[in-house]
Amino acid sequence: MATALAYEQFDTLSDEDCDERIVAAKRALGKRVVILGHHYQRDEVFRHADFSGDSLKLSRLAATSDAEYIVFCGVHFMAEVADILSRPDQVSILPDLAAGCSMADMANLAAVERAWRELGRVLDPDARVTPVTYINSAADLKAFCGEHGGLVCTSSNARRVLEWSWAQRDKVLFFPDQHLGRNTAYRMGVPLEDMAVWDYALPNGGLTREQIERARIILWKGFCSVHQMFQPVHIDSFRREHPDGKVIAHPEAPFEVCQKSDYVGSTEFIIKTVRESAPGTRWLVGTELNLVNRLHEQCRDEGKVVEFMSPTVCMCSTMFRIDPQHLVWTLENLVEGRIVNQIKVAPAEAGLARLALERMLEVSP
């Protein structure tokens, strides 16, 4: 295969030039390529997506398409899921390999395996603990769950996954996002005192034998840097100014924020709830900035006001790395018959990760 076009030829292009060239490259590639745009993606890239949605929905759509190339405008773990779920003849591509996920990075395989061994000093984890990983995690952690009788969850099906997990064993190890695990379990009736936080920087997670024995769910000390910024004071201020306003938050937000919100749910749930609300409604939304701004523009004609929860501008900085310049570089290389930034999960790892994903889909289709 010929040498790929160097990215340096593209990084100084204007967004307008990129826009024209992206359209032309898509036209040249036709059905051979499908572009996936995650909800948190910047508008300059999002407008070129053939499908938009959350990471699992996008990967499943791509796998059923006729496309040879899957260009995922998201982050690394999303492109991994696309590779795991896609057909052998499909190629998963991430336009910028630097587009990672800080939350996913908070749980790595070495730390999770160490936690599993340390739990083994107190109890038999393979008999008593179901490992559950949020889809926002690396493929090797999904594979770990597949190997140890666990599964994957999303923000929309976490409740069903936990119900299934507790039906198998009496405890759950939930990683990497402590907030999704805590918020979901609490809404299921699990009291906070029956939850424990595993600090992966400390021996035995910083927990005593008694804390481990008592816990129904052991929460990994991880979080999303965007959703972590939302605070109860932001909701209090909004309610003082707009007593009739509504507050909706993603379950990756802190516990106190979700407790003060009128609605809590996944990205798709947030979009659906705001879009279907009555004209003239005012919303305070606790999720990523690009999505909130897009919702505001889409609902403006109905007199709705959609506000970002934090007074500090905060977007997913790693998602933001996928820019028009990287997208056109990726597509024009494909036009020339060259593949750049392919994401390929090793077969053995992919098989175990697929098992964990399939368990999730059986629990929550």
CATH code assigned at 255 = 3.40.50.10800
Rounded-to-integer distance, Cα 88 and Cα 125, Å: 34
Q: Which pLDDT score, from 0 to 100, does residue 77 have?
A: 93
Per-residue burial over 129-160, b if 16 or more Cβ lie within 10 Å, else e, is bbbbbbbbbbbbbbbbbbbbbbbbbbbbbbeb
Q: How far apart are the first and last CA of the chain?
A: 40
Q: Can the peptide bond before residue 176 be classed as cis, meaning omega within 30 degrees of 0?
A: yes
In a 3-state reduction of DSSP, which class is residue 19? helix
Q: Do 220 and 231 lie in a common domain?
A: no
Q: Does residue 353 fall inside a structural domain?
A: no
Amino acid at 283: W
Q: Do 139 and 212 lie in a common domain?
A: yes
Both tokens of 346, joined, read 């090793």
Rounded-to-integer distance, Cα 187 and Cα 290, Å: 28
Q: Which pLDDT score, from 0 to 100, does residue 311 have?
A: 84
User: Mind listing the pLDDT tens digit of every residue in the chain (365 residues)?
Assistant: 567 888 888 989 999 999 999 999 999 999 999 999 988 888 999 999 999 988 888 888 988 999 999 999 999 999 999 999 999 999 999 999 999 888 889 999 999 999 999 999 999 999 999 999 999 999 999 999 999 999 999 999 999 999 999 999 999 999 999 999 999 999 999 999 999 999 999 999 999 999 999 999 999 999 988 888 999 999 999 999 999 999 999 999 999 999 999 999 999 999 999 999 999 999 999 998 989 999 999 999 999 999 999 987 666 666 678 999 999 999 999 999 999 999 999 999 999 999 999 999 999 87
Q: Does residue 352 fall inside a structural domain?
A: no
Q: Do 128 and 198 lie in a common domain?
A: yes
Bridge partners of 69, per DSSP, are 33, 91
> Domain total for the chain?
3
Residue that finishes a domain, picked among 308, 336, 358 = 308
- CA angle (192 as vertex; 101, 211 as ends), nearest 5: 90
Q: Which pLDDT score, from 0 to 100, does residue 118 have?
A: 98
pTM of the model: 0.93
Strands 195-198 and 33-38: unpaired
Q: Do 195 and 108 lie in a common domain?
A: yes
Q: Which pLDDT score, from 0 to 100, does residue 316 have?
A: 64
Rounded-to-integer distance, Cα 200 and Cα 173, Å: 12
Q: Do 236 and 210 lie in a common domain?
A: no
Q: Which pLDDT score, from 0 to 100, does residue 40 have?
A: 84
Rounded-to-integer distance, Cα 323 and Cα 132, Å: 32
Q: Do 191 and 216 lie in a common domain?
A: yes
Q: Do 112 and 200 lie in a common domain?
A: yes
Q: Which pLDDT score, from 0 to 100, does residue 32 have?
A: 97
CATH code assigned at 155 = 3.40.50
Residue that finishes a domain, picked among 199, 224, 249 = 224
Q: Do 117 and 182 lie in a common domain?
A: yes
Q: Helix and strand tally (H, E) in the chain? A: 17, 13
Strands 69-73 and 33-38: parallel
Q: Does residue 185 fall inside a structural domain?
A: yes
Q: Do 110 and 130 lie in a common domain?
A: yes
Q: Do 32 and 53 lie in a common domain?
A: yes
Q: Which pLDDT score, from 0 to 100, does residue 317 have?
A: 61
Rounded-to-integer distance, Cα 76 and Cα 319, Å: 9
Which of these, 53, 103, 58, 52, lies nearest to 80 by C-alpha position?
Answer: 58
Domain that holds residue 284: 227-308
Q: Does residue 264 fall inside a structural domain?
A: yes
Q: Do 214 and 138 lie in a common domain?
A: yes
Both tokens of 282, joined, read 């005012």
Q: Does residue 275 fall inside a structural domain?
A: yes
Q: Do 164 and 240 lie in a common domain?
A: no
